[in-house]
A and B are shown apart, each in its own frame.
Chain A
Amino acid sequence: MNMLRAVMLALLLGLAFVASPVATAQAGEAGPSFPKAQGSCVDDPATMRRHHFDFLTHQRDDTLRAGIRGAKYSLKECVTCHASTAANGKPVPVNAPGQFCQSCHAYAAVTIDCFSCHATTPQTAEAKP
């Protein structure tokens, strides 16, 4: 009797394991949804998806420590293009739920540390020097 129970349990568990990858694959096809950026990116999307964090890590040291400005990759430029505008005309932070940065990072379960310090909305016209 115990043997039968064990076999039933194993079968059930096996079913669960078979079912779960299917569910993931279905979600993967949908992927995270986020607002489209304005303009074209500095690099092709596949490269940016895979390497954006590496680009930004190197860039931050060049900019801050060496004072090199105007490089190809810049977090400020990311925010400028990828922050969407709300109905009231105000920019929406890129780390708000459903926005460009946050939607992918939530999907991939990766915490973004950038925006505990960095601005999440583009520089507004009146704030420019």
Chain B
Amino acid sequence: MSQPTSRRDLLKAAAIGAVAIAPGLTLIAPAAARPLGTGASAANRWGLLIDTSKCDAGCTACVDACKTEMGLTGHDRPLTDSQYIRKVDVTDPASGHRHSLPVMCQHCAKPPCVDVCPTGASMKRADGIVLVDRHICIGCRYCMMACPYKARSFIHEDQSGQKPDNPRGKGCVESCTLCAHRIDAGGQPACVESCAKDGRAAMLFGDLNDPNSEISRRVSTEATSRIRADLGVEPAIRYQGI
């Protein structure tokens, strides 16, 4: 004869069930902060999907947010001031169709900047984020020549008032870090956040390696393209509507 189930046993079982569900819920959260002390993992491939049909020509929310987040101060010299993202306005000469899109470091799977770097300063993290290790960058600017996306900038002047999360100084090359400091803390890039808040939510950030992520789902079901896909550098930034 089985033991009669008391009210207390039922409550106990319910409590155990709730504990079992809670970790499951945290697992499917969009981007969990990586535990402290663990490195970037090749299991992730961070990327962006940018819907250019939602991107207004006059809007610079992403560019402004980037400058604030990364502490990019300029000298009103557009040719040489650092830019991690720039807005590019393009027109189809045949149809006259105009659209605007943000272009930043495309975080290539086969980055030409890393291939050409003579010191190993230009590097790709395990999770696909392409960075400059400024500790060993000698400022030769070979990577700037090699990048097909004109994504890198050189710092010409002494800097002060840098952001703690983005150390930067004279004589080094720099570019978009995909806000690696935010991603490591479980966040998303500043441009994506401001596009959702002040723009028209044209940018989507996520893990291209995770089949359950929103970005993977959309990339696998909708038409997307990559700028200069013919070069075979396999960027992590995908666009729609170009």
Contacts and interface: CB of A to CB of B under 8 A. Distances in A.
B24 interface: no
Contacts of A119: 161-164, 167
Given A60-B135, A64-B131, A116-B159, A69 B184 contact: yes
Given A70-B37, A117-B172, A64 B162 contact: no
A123 B133 contact: no
A67 B124 CA distance: 11
B162 A67 contact: no
Main secondary structure of the interface of A (DSSP, over half): loop
Interface residues of A, number: 22
Which of under 10, 10 to 19, 20 to 34, or 35 or more describes the interface residues of B?
35 or more
B133 A64 contact: yes
A117 B162 contact: yes
Contact of B180 (A62, A67, A70, A79): A67
Nearest to B133: A64
A117 B190 CA distance: 21
Given A60-B135, A65-B133, A67-B125, A117 B184 contact: no
A129 interface: yes
A67 B127 CA distance: 9
A23 interface: no
Contacts of A67: 34, 39-40, 125-127, 129, 180, 184
A96 to B, nearest CB: 11
Contacts of B112: none
6 contacts: A60-B135, A65-B125, A67-B34, A67-B125, A67-B184, A69-B185
Across the A-B interface, the 8 shortest Cβ-Cβ residue pairs: A70-B36, A67-B40, A117-B169, A66-B39, A117-B167, A119-B164, A116-B169, A118-B167
Interface of A: 60-62, 64-71, 76, 79, 116-120, 122-123, 127, 129
Given A65-B131, A119-B167, 15 more contacts: A62-B39, A65-B123, A66-B40, A66-B125, A67-B34, A67-B40, A67-B184, A68-B38, A69-B37, A116-B158, A116-B159, A116-B170, A117-B159, A118-B167, A119-B162
